[in-house]
């Protein structure tokens, strides 16, 4: 069976790509993922807030240490002598590139164009094979319109594209008025792919301490259906690469994404839960399924159940919603 696929212009040996997670912080874990069959690796994210914090701490340190003690200036470390998170990230990228044979995709997470050009250029120079932009932006300001939110994404990509030649994938949330429209705009501005969808982690409220608390909940297979639907509707209507992320836990989930039209399937929660060996299990499951299917390759099956090719195109549209409601039989008194 030919498992090869193309993503962001990269030819991959199969469609399974571990997404940004703590696993890529360890060379040993990264090697285990490659040995398990990973076709590429998305690094953990470099966060804009962390970079800003590093700069603020350094500025505060340098400004306050010399107050009243001018002679102390000669003993202070130079700004470049203390490693920043960007430098640590670039060092890990270099180590991964040296240790792995598969492509390594860097990940930037932020909301403003500010330093992204500098960071993008540095990642390109360090040897990243591609760049994933995770624009994690929650539009909670009532004065900001939907058009302004979309413009933020488009401007950020446009500005970065002027300075970086790397393939760029935009990791998007589903919370756009028109997902297809914003993706079409991003394609015109220079995106090589989109990753659908980013998950916003929701805070919780502790009713005993009366505090808002962070809440980390890993995905389930049910979470994959939203991305599957949009990938199926986008397939054949855009030319950029389509990556499915969030909710893929087994080979059945992965095959569904490919049938819908995904070029690659990102894995995260299932690897954190079951370990790196889970990737090999999913890959074997895909191979076994293909052996029993009428398809001979990933490219042949890709998109065969997209909206464009499905026998009933309404299955992905509003008509499906109506059919589901009318067919549901309530339990108990019903």
Q: What's the longest Cα–Cα distance across the chain?
A: 84
Long-range contacts of 151-159 (CB under 8 A, 24+ apart): 152/111, 153/182, 153/186, 154/182, 154/185, 154/186, 154/189, 155/113, 156/112, 156/113, 156/116, 157/133, 157/186, 157/189, 157/190, 157/191, 158/189, 158/190, 159/113, 159/116, 159/117
pLDDT (tens digit per residue) in 50-59: 665 444 344 3
Decide which of 135 and 262 is more confident. 262
Q: Residue 44: its pLDDT value, please?
A: 96
pLDDT, average across residues 84-101: 95
Can you give the pLDDT at residue 116? 77
Q: Where are the alpha helices (DSSP H) in the chain?
A: 27-36, 48-65, 85-99, 116-126, 146-161, 179-189, 224-234, 251-260, 269-274, 277-292, 298-301, 318-327
pLDDT digits (tens, 9 = 90+) for 321-331: 666 666 666 66
Q: What is the pLDDT of residue 93?
A: 97
- pLDDT beyond 70 at 63: no
Confidence band, pLDDT 50/70/90 cuts, at residue 61 = very low
Q: What is the mean pLDDT of the chain?
A: 87
Instruction: Name which of 212-226, 230-244, 301-315 the model is least confident about.
Output: 301-315
């Amino acid at each position: 069976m030919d498992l090869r696929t193309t993503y962001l212009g990269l030819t991959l040996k199969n469609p399974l790509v571990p997404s940004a997670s703590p696993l890529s912080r360890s060379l040993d874990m990264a090697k285990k993922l490659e040995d398990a069959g990973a076709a590429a690796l998305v690094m953990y994210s470099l966060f804009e807030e962390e970079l800003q914090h590093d700069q603020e701490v350094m500025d505060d340190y340098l400004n306050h240490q010399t107050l009243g003690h001018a002679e102390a200036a000669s003993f202070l470390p130079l700004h470049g002598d203390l490693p920043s998170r960007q430098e640590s990230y670039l060092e890990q990228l270099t180590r991964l590139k040296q240790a792995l044979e598969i492509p390594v995709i860097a990940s930037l997470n932020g909301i403003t164009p500010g330093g992204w050009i500098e960071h993008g250029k540095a990642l390109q120079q360090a040897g990243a094979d591609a760049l994933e932009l995770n624009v994690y932006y929650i539009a909670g300001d009532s004065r900001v319109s939907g058009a302004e939110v979309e413009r933020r994404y488009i401007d950020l990509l446009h500005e970065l594209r002027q300075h970086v030649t790397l393939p760029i994938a935009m990791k998007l949330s589903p919370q756009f008025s028109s997902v297809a429209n914003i993706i079409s705009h991003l394609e015109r501005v220079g995106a090589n792919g989109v990753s659908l969808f980013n998950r916003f982690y929701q805070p919780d409220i502790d009713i005993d301490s009366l505090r808002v608390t962070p809440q980390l909940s890993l995905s389930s297979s049910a979470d994959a259906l939203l991305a599957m639907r949009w990938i199926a509707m986008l397939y054949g209507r855009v030319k950029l690469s389509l990556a499915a992320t969030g909710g893929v836990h087994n080979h059945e989930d992965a095959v569904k994404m490919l049938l819908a039209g995904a070029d690659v399937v990102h894995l995260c929660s299932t690897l954190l839960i079951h370990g790196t060996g889970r990737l090999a299990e999913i890959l074997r499951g895909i191979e076994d399924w293909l052996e029993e299917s009428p398809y001979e390759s990933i490219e042949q099956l890709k998109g065969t159940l997209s909206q464009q090719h499905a026998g009933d195109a309404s299955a992905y549209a509003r008509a499906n919603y109506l059919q589901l409601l009318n067919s549901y039989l309530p339990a108990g008194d019903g």
